[in-house]
Amino acid sequence: MNTTIELQANAARARLVPDAGGRVSSLRLCTAAGAPVELLHLYPEDACDPVRWAKGGIYPLLPFSNRIAQARVRVQGEDVRLAPHPDALPHALHGNAHLLHWTVTQQQADSAVLALDAPPSEAWPWHYTGQLEFLLAASALQVRVSIRNAGMRVMPAGIGLHPYFRHTEAARIAYGASAWWLPSPDFLATSARTPASDETYRPARALPPGGLTHYAGGWDGQADVELPDGGYLRIAADPVFSHLVVHRPDNLAYLCLEPVSHVADGFNLAARGVAQTGTHWLAPGETLAGTMRLSLEPGDIR
């Protein structure tokens, strides 16, 4: 069994699983009237499959998000090989931080700090450390995620958070973005353009029917999703999260709204001269960090 810790703020609850990649396994926030609302598609706390991880909760995306084409990244003129993911062959997928054991370094009733020391490996041949800082309030959860280059050479780096929200197909969402990245059939970003009228989500509207994956660039840092019983959930993120991934599987089991620092395969796109990929390269000792806040909001989504 994995060790779990629970944060509390009034009737709000957030359960964390440090042994399973620093995940949030469940999150209950409260409305202004004190009514509890379960927000996440639940993550099973008793296991963590390193290949086909359960689709639920919230997990950190370090040291990169989404796919890296051919499991190869070009850094300072050198092609660096990574371990491909079996379900995304021949590409790498979502980094390795969510597959590793995190250590609880601080814990209070409503807050916790988790830390990760990730030595070089086939998954990521650079040494990095990570940190997750959680702060729970009655109607909100704040998560700060950071990555530090702990090695002696320049390292490409990205950060993000991957939540799985409970969802109904008719729910409206709202967010603003200046770019629409076109995906390849295997979910690599290829190029960006201005969103068409049917690709904009402000004012709020429902997503197209069925499963989908959208890559939004130039994201304004706010995304809202309508809740079945009234009100809506708001995601507010720091500017470092300049991209938003919107994903829903074909079975409609959940909705992912993922704040991320870079677009899918951003490092290789940037190496080819593509602009506005959101990619970062960290010098030894340098840190990349950002905060995301999930909050329950009253009234009607706009």
Q: What CATH number is given to the structural domain containing 64?
A: 2.70.98.10
Determine the Cα–Cα distance for residues 149 and 269; give it in Å rounded to an integer: 22
DSSP 178: S
- Does 1 score more than 70 pLDDT? no
Domain membership of residue 131 (yes or no) is: yes
Domain membership of residue 80 (yes or no) is: yes
Number of domains within the chain: 1
Model confidence pLDDT, tens digit, residues 230-260: 899 999 999 999 999 999 999 999 999 999 9
Nearest to 125 by CA among 68, 170, 179: 68
Residue range(s) defining the domain that contains residue 78: 5-297
User: Which residue carries 């709202």 as its tokens?
Assistant: 174
Domain membership of residue 220 (yes or no) is: yes
Model confidence pLDDT, tens digit, residues 134-186: 999 999 999 999 999 999 999 999 999 999 999 999 999 999 999 999 999 99
* Phi, psi of 212, deg, nearest 5: -165, 160
Model confidence pLDDT, tens digit, residues 39-68: 999 999 887 787 788 899 999 999 999 999
CA 288 to chain centre: 15
Domain membership of residue 103 (yes or no) is: yes
Determine the Cα–Cα distance for residues 21 and 70; give it in Å rounded to an integer: 24
Domain membership of residue 93 (yes or no) is: yes
Determine the Cα–Cα distance for residues 222 and 173; give it in Å rounded to an integer: 11
- pLDDT the model gives residue 302: 86
Domain membership of residue 302 (yes or no) is: no
Domain membership of residue 148 (yes or no) is: yes
Domain membership of residue 94 (yes or no) is: yes
